[in-house]
Structure 1
Amino acid sequence: MARAALLPVALLLCLAMASSADAGRKTVGVYELKNKKGDFSIKVTNWGATLMSVIVPDSNGNSADVVLGYDTVAGFVNGSSYFGALVGRVANRIAKGRFVLDGITYHLYTNDGNNTLHGGLRGFSKVIWTVKEYVPSGDSPYITFYYHSFDGEEGFPGALDVYATYQLSGSYDLRIRMNATALGKAKATPVNLANHAYWNLAGHGSGDVLGHQVRVRASRYTPVDDESMIPTGEVAGVAGTPYDLRRLTPLGSRVGLVSAGGAAGFDVNYAVEGDGFRPVAYVREPVSGRAFELWADQPGVQLYTGNWLRNEKGKAGAVYRQHGALCLETQGFPDAVNHPNFPSVIVRPGGVYKHHMLFKFSSPEQRSVL
């Protein structure tokens, strides 16, 4: 979602080594989950609790990997686009890398111009997570990752115990559950986790997603300052604007009408209708027939159309270019810590943050529309 901080490879490798040292004997691995039929599977790694691949059949039963990424874990270590990563402690942007909480001003590492993006220089996407449970097959295969975030990490107050679970809960259902418990008795902290998968339902190396059809269940969005990409604080209606995706709409009919940070395309947070666990969006690629419904329990969802992808070398020799994927990141509102009118992302000591996502892929036999 938006411009990634471009960091020197050497620096990223140093971060990886530092993370390994902090983790003791933890090693980085790749783990696969597969449904009973064998035609739906994912691969994940405990580097950044990252979703590496999602293989799902099209309407003719032909399988393809539909998320962008790299062939090896080293690619994710050195990459700068957050492909498939779990981002935090606070996803999206925090203006000027600062916020005030309980009368104390906190200063964060700024890695996106003057702003903090996706948790800072060494966010949750750039650390090694512990594998707590791994059930690779059966009726409901799953894997659970754990990470302890210490008080003061990247400037954030308070310690957290964080868990992320990937689960194949049905024939073609992918669930992602995230939760974080604020430890100690003294310090509250902001928490806003997000999965940053880049989707191309025609296949990860098949070109742009302008032919994808998208529906978002939102009548409002949070406009941003186009230069800083920080919300203005307004929650505006989408009616009469190119951001209105309440009906199934080809992305190619809108990307030239919207822009973010100087690049054509969507990079916007929508205020999702309703409360609780509910439908958020629907995506369909008409040629392959692949589609998914996205359900979640968060107040917002960021739609990003890969505006800043620039000849990124990915899996199997693919080259990812502008608009080569779309992201749907369910989340709290961006920069919520600095906008009291936005839904709060603050977790008090002893409190638990919870985030539940469900991608319901249509089967080869089923072509339902949300």
Structure 2
Amino acid sequence: MFSRGFARSSAPAVKPIEPLVIARPELPQAEALLPYLRRIDAARWYSNFGPLLTEFEARLTARFEPDTQVVTCANGTQGLALCLQALQLAPGSLCAVPAYTFVATAHAVISAGLIPYFLDVDPDTWTLQPHTVREALAHAPAPVSAVILVAPFGLTPDLAPWLELREQTGVQVVVDAAAAFDAVHSAALPTVVSLHATKVLGIGEGGFLATEDHRLAQRVRQLTTFGFRGSRDSQMPATNAKLSEYAAAIGLAALDAWPHNRLRWLRAAQGLRAATTHLPQVAFQPGWGLSWATSVCSVQLPDGMAATVERGLSEQGVETRRWWGLGCQTNPAFADCPRGDLTQTDRLGQAVIGLPFSIDLDHEQISRVAAALAASVD
């Protein structure tokens, strides 16, 4: 019997809203890996450029134009750093980087013994522009030896004007194509791609350099393996940044599934685009989900609106993330690094947010994101 003053409630309990998370990576499952793992068991070759890694690099190379070489490494950040190191640039010189990028870009510059020089980006493509670099060369506080051109979230820039800049100025240009596995097929400029678990083709941790410069490829390879080249004598200061046969097994299984998985990424992206066509305040990157696939969805809102929309989405259980924050230059690690005028980077930092996106984003989840956006941008 209930105590006096209390009554039995017949109202059903309110089910809490399940959060819609920002990302749900998907790597090859155990069944897909098993044939490759059995090959490792049979060969008893586990690292040091075994048959699976050789095959993985060959299949990656086949995605590029003829005469390209691919060198795998432990992760994309190492790939950038070792590429810069292999170019034998003047120690302590400046490397121009877009301020609107992930911190890995600047960390790679510092690891290579250079100093990041933050420059502004184009407000429409979010990329560094050649004319910005040319102007900066005349006013830089120290010699500029290199530029890292970032492909923002997978959107690849036109390389022709950058090849011209390199030829005319002697400044080396490296492409940080961390998220652009799907879109990059030319390596006229040294190009580094990430194979992190969060990318469209992921292996957990990994990356690779693609380049038409065979001497550069050879030097980067040597830097990934203690400076060895054909002997047990270390020829240069280097590191250990090799991929194992197990990482290659995941990569091979991921490549097997890539044609189908690419369509899944594009289908999810196009569903999200279609569901938000009635929201002119929400702008997707040019070609996102139409001509190229990537694993994140970053949209641009009206100036200064990011924080308001983030709060609105959070209240509805929809997770967001500013993947590049307010710009790389705002991180304490880079407080002392030189920079130019960053007006557009500051604007983008207050206007761009990442929405929940995954390879298996379904109709119900897409509708939920679209409805939450509609309520928040109003």
Structure 1 or 2: more strand by fraction: 1
TM-score range, shorter chain: under 0.3
> Greater relative contact order (Cα 8 A, min sep 6): structure 1 or 2?
2
TM-score scaled by structure 2?
Answer: 0.24
TM-score scaled by structure 1?
Answer: 0.24
